[in-house]
Structure 1
Amino acid sequence: MDSQAAARATAAVPGIPRDAEGPVFREPWEAQAFAMAVTLHERGVFSWNEWAAALADEIKTAQADGDPDLGDTYYRHWLATLEKLVVEKQVTTTDTLHRTRDAWDHAADRTPHGAPIVLRPEDFEG
């Protein structure tokens, strides 16, 4: 993802945590989720208006369910929105998302702390 794409996303989607240089992230996965959304937008999967509306709906639902909206859950909402839109747009399926999440958990369980997590075919076998 290039810095111009990140700048366009930051300008188009209100509420993105940012500083003077652009978006800021607390954890690496937040940056990865951001980059995936930017890439999918650039590929025409959704418009920024569509993304912003879906993200706003996700945040409103979370707040109604008790999210205190302290800013620390923003990218959790981002990720949930991303998952919903890729299923809605038929980029993937809910089953594939769950299978991949489970495979990641299996791989993480066997990986020593601090080592890179590597997915193997057997991680997808349940």
Structure 2
Amino acid sequence: MTGSERDDANGVDAERLAALPPLPTDDEGPVFEAPWQAQAFALAVKLSDEGHFTWKEWAGTLADELAAAEARGEPDDGTRYYHHWVAALERLVVDRRLSTSAALDDCKEAWADAYRHTPHGQPVELHLGPSREL
């Protein structure tokens, strides 16, 4: 199934989707500046494929996040595109009750704490104790 067939099958509003900033791509597909961007992309695709939300719902939520950023006066230079992608993904995950805002905040804080306690140049590892679950 081609991408356009998949979009049609999921009922994506082609005009609204076309209005979104395009993903950076090369001849082989999407290109990401950092691993977390690819992971956020893959997670959104996987959750949509599993039926947690349609691609049309995803595109609408991302468009809302981008519009909110514009209303806040954030520059539209593409540097924060995947930050908005993650914000849209978090919103859908909470709306669909796949997680809670509190659990997401706890996870972010656990990663930030792990980062702060990791020596420079070493990989950041998240160690959850018995009282911390994701």
TM-score by length of 1: 0.83
Runs of at least 5 residues in structure 1 that lack an aligned partner in the other structure = none
Once residues 16 and 54 of structure 1 are traced to their aligned partners in structure 2, the CA distance between those partners, rounded to angstroms, is: 16
Q: Which runs of structure 2 are paired with 1:1-126 in the superposition (5 Å)?
A: 8=3, 12=7, 14=18, 15-122=22-129, 124=132
Deviation at 1:84, TM superposition (A): 0.6
Q: Deviations over 1:68-107 (max 9, x none)?
A: 1111111111000001110000000000000000111111
Q: Is the 8 A contact 1:87 1:94 kept in 2?
A: yes
Once residues 127 and 114 of structure 2 are traced to their aligned partners in structure 1, the CA distance between those partners, rounded to angstroms, is: 7
| One-letter identity of the residue aligned with 2:95 | E
Whose radius of gyration is greater, 1 or 2?
A: 2
Q: Percent identity?
A: 46
Q: Alignment partner of 1:121: what SS?
A: coil
Number of equivalences = 119
Deviation at 1:42, TM superposition (A): 1.2
Q: Alignment partner of 1:97: what SS?
A: helix
Q: Alignment partner of 2:73: what SS?
A: coil
Greater helix fraction, Structure 1 or Structure 2: 1
Once residues 105 and 61 of structure 2 are traced to their aligned partners in structure 1, the CA distance between those partners, rounded to angstroms, is: 21
| One-letter identity of the residue aligned with 1:103 | A
